[in-house]
């Protein structure tokens, strides 16, 4: 909230609510009521502190709330000309995969709003974390948050549903900005990977192979997913068939490698 971009705070708030409900529900089922009350206390205290520090931003916004007209805007107004398709996932690998604003080859407007690139090395580490540290407490919610951010950022049938039903979602234009929330989840996954416990030379070798293999698997999946959108309807490319076959074989190899690490 200090940065003034309330949209990302709104998105992050929904992820936080989902995580807290899941975590607190787990504690409730286990009967760990003391820890549950302690967490609730810390969440309440941190929320009050955050609101207090951001009061200079929130109070003027609250005063101007009656002047907001976005709630009456159309769905096209909500999209703001930035309906991101699966092909935009290619920008995870290269920021100018779909063109560049330097020479006018990018087909859309405001290219910097649509690029998902945050670096290849962080992408490799983020992809490796769920594979190599799945049992760690924060790995699963971070991985789910990363995938959910990508799903909601892209133009899918989910968008109209959220626009109509999720409170406040229709007030923030350009939902593709959830790509920036992906980056937040990615940074935290990288921290988990870089803080992993030491292991034997053999296990470390297997982990390195799994990390590199997982990065290749993710890159192939992005290319396949984005390329499917670019092909004309009804067209089957021989190169695409070969790539799908290679990806399937790579998946089998990865599953066997992960089984050895389990």
Range 107-122 burial, b when 16+ CB lie within 10 A, else e: eeeebebbbbbbeeeb
Based on the domain organization, do 98 and 171 belong to the same domain?
Answer: yes
What is the model's pLDDT at position 129?
72
Q: Token pair for residue 20?
A: 């807290």
Domain boundary residue, one of 21, 37, 67: 67
**Cα atoms in the 13 Å half-sphere on the side-chain side of 73:** 18
Domain boundary residue, one of 36, 67, 98: 67
- Tell me: pLDDT of 103 over 80: yes
Confidence of residue 79 (pLDDT cuts 50, 70, 90): confident
- Tell me: pLDDT of 198 over 50: no
Give 104-162 pLDDT, tens digit per residue.
888 877 788 888 888 777 777 777 777 666 677 777 888 888 888 888 888 888 888 88
Based on the domain organization, do 62 and 93 belong to the same domain?
Answer: no
Residue 95: domain span:
75-261
> Domain count of the chain?
2
Based on the domain organization, do 189 and 246 belong to the same domain?
Answer: yes
Based on the domain organization, do 98 and 183 belong to the same domain?
Answer: yes
Q: Quick count: other Cβ atoms within 10 Å of Cβ 253?
A: 13
Q: What is the pTM of this model?
A: 0.66
Based on the domain organization, do 63 and 81 belong to the same domain?
Answer: no
Give 212-259 pLDDT, tens digit per residue.
776 677 777 777 666 655 555 444 566 666 777 777 777 777 777 666
């Amino acid at each position: 909230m200090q940065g003034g971009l309330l949209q990302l705070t709104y998105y992050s708030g929904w992820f936080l609510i989902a995580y807290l409900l899941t975590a607190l529900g787990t504690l409730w089922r286990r009967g760990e009521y003391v820890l549950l009350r302690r967490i609730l206390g810390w969440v309440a205290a941190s929320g009050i502190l955050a609101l207090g520090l951001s009061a200079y931003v929130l109070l003027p916004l609250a005063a101007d709330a009656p002047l907001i007209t976005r709630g009456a805007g159309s769905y096209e107004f909500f999209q703001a000309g930035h309906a991101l398709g699966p092909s935009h996932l290619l920008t995870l690998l290269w920021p100018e995969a779909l063109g560049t604003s330097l020479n006018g080859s990018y087909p859309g407007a405001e290219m910097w709003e649509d690029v998902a690139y945050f670096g290849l090395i962080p992408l490799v580490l983020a992809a490796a974390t769920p594979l190599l540290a799945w049992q760690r407490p924060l790995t699963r919610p971070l991985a789910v948050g990363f995938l959910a951010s990508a799903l909601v950022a892209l133009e899918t049938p989910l968008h109209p549903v959220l626009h109509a039903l999720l409170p406040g979602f229709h007030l923030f234009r350009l939902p593709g900005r959830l790509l920036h929330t992906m980056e937040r989840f990615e940074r935290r996954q990288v921290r988990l990977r870089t803080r992993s416990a030491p292991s034997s030379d053999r296990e470390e070798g297997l982990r390195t192979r799994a990390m590199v293999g997982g990065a290749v698997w993710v890159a192939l999946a992005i290319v396949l997913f984005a390329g499917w959108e670019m092909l004309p309807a009804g067209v089957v490319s021989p190169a695409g068939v070969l790539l799908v076959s290679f990806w399937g074989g790579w998946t089998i190899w990865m599953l066997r490698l992960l089984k050895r690490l389990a």
